[in-house]
Amino acid sequence: METKPKKKLHPQTLALAAALVLPLALVGLFQLWKDDPALMEGWVFGWMAPLEQALGRLYAPVPFSVGEFLLALLLGGSLVWLIRALVLAARRRAGRPLLRRLAALLAVWLWLWAGVCWLWSAAYQVPSFAQRAGIETEPYSAETLARVTDLFAQNAARLAGQMARDEEGHFAESRSDCLERSLTLYDNLTREFPFLSMESVAPKPIFCSWLQSALGFTGVYSPFTGEANVNMDAPACLFPATVAHEMSHQRMVAREQEANFVGIAACIASDDPVFQYSGWLMGLIHLCNALYSVSPDTWYAIAGARFTPELSQDWNDNNAYWDAFDSPVEDTATDVYDSFLKGNGQELGIRSYGACVDLLVAYFGT
């Protein structure tokens, strides 16, 4: 009896199936193994960190952010691919080619998801900076919070008058100079915390900085290229502290509250007055936000006693800049990032940016 020969799968179909299944398998393995401390530490510090730091050095000579370029290419290419697939489907009235094209686009985004898991989310699964540094945070009183806030206000006020300013009194230190000087920014802090040591790579300017501001971000780390990227449009007075924050991510400080603290500590410990001032100011903003929520009168007392005209100018400029971007777009971007942080074990979500106050009080309040 003659049997009908079986139809073989087309090689392109097999390749597409593999492109869909493999990244899903990688994501599944990450979810399965992420709670294994030994495995995650071995991966992050033995493979992931060296790889990303090597990529950062590789792309350092490129004058623009390779990570931003690749992201723009991905978003633009995905949009063009989707439109083309829909147009071709409408012209030919064929559904199967459309499904193949959509599946191919889905495969690209699944590989991106797998990459984020293994090249960045893994860093949330290893011991935190505080654990590696031996810094223990404990409950503290409003008086202790006020004392540390006053310390930051004194130092910020002391340095505010030393900064370059324009005719209207606005902070006018050069952003490009800060980027060049950032190569030695971590020299002093790494003497205290050697596990932060690495060959420093200067952050890259973000070309679409205005868009970053509209989304509510001052910088972003690209794990796929090892680049720290900074918003060049945000207020200049906090730019040096933002540089330090993004450089902490290159050192595998993943948690945002800890990256804020490490960035502030690196600035304050540096020998550069511009970075010092920005670090004291960044810390002061976090501390004042926390203090105002528990004791508004104390906050007003510190501001009245410590804020100089220069410090007040920078404070107001920063508030005015971000108030102008208050919109549903920023709220949506914040919600998305909040979900990402919570998905990586940061229960406070986006509010973890304010949780660095605990570390500031523990470190500077002793």
For residue 171, the 8-state DSSP code is B
CA distances from 92 to 78, 79, 83, 87 (A): 21, 20, 14, 9
* Packing angle of the helix pair 296-306, 142-160 (nearest 10 deg): 20
Burial of 10 (0-12, 13-18, 19+ CB in 10 A): exposed
Instruction: Give me 294's structure tokens.
Output: 């528990």
SS3 216: coil
Element containing residue 361 per DSSP (H, E): helix 356-364
Query: Which residue in 294, 324, 320, 185 sits closest to 250, CA to CA?
Result: 185
What residues have CB less than 8 Å from 292, skipping those under 6 apart?
Answer: 299
Q: What is the pLDDT of residues 177-212, one digit of tens each?
A: 999 999 999 999 999 999 999 999 999 999 999 999
Contact (Cβ atoms closer than 8 angstroms) between residue 201 and residue 57: yes
Average pLDDT, the chain: 90
pTM assigned to the model: 0.88
226 pLDDT higher than 50: yes
**Listed ranges 86-90, 265-269, 346-350; the one with the highest mean pLDDT:** 265-269
Return the domain boundaries, the chain.
Answer: 11-125, 129-364
Element containing residue 264 per DSSP (H, E): helix 256-269
**pLDDT confidence of residue 6:** 57
353 pLDDT higher than 90: no
How far is it, in rounded angstroms, from Cα 201 to Cα 14?
42
How far is it, in rounded angstroms, from Cα 48 to Cα 194?
18
Amino acid letter, 25: A
Amino acid letter, 151: L
Between 9 and 68, residue with greater pLDDT: 68
342 pLDDT higher than 90: no
323 pLDDT higher than 70: yes
How far is it, in rounded angstroms, from Cα 246 to Cα 242?
6
Q: What is the pLDDT of residues 129-185, one digit of tens each?
A: 999 999 998 888 999 999 999 999 999 999 999 999 999 999 999 999 999 999 999
**pLDDT confidence of residue 13:** 78
**pLDDT confidence of residue 97:** 81
Radius of gyration of the chain (CA): 24
**pLDDT confidence of residue 352:** 36
SS3 344: coil
How far is it, in rounded angstroms, from Cα 310 to Cα 161?
6
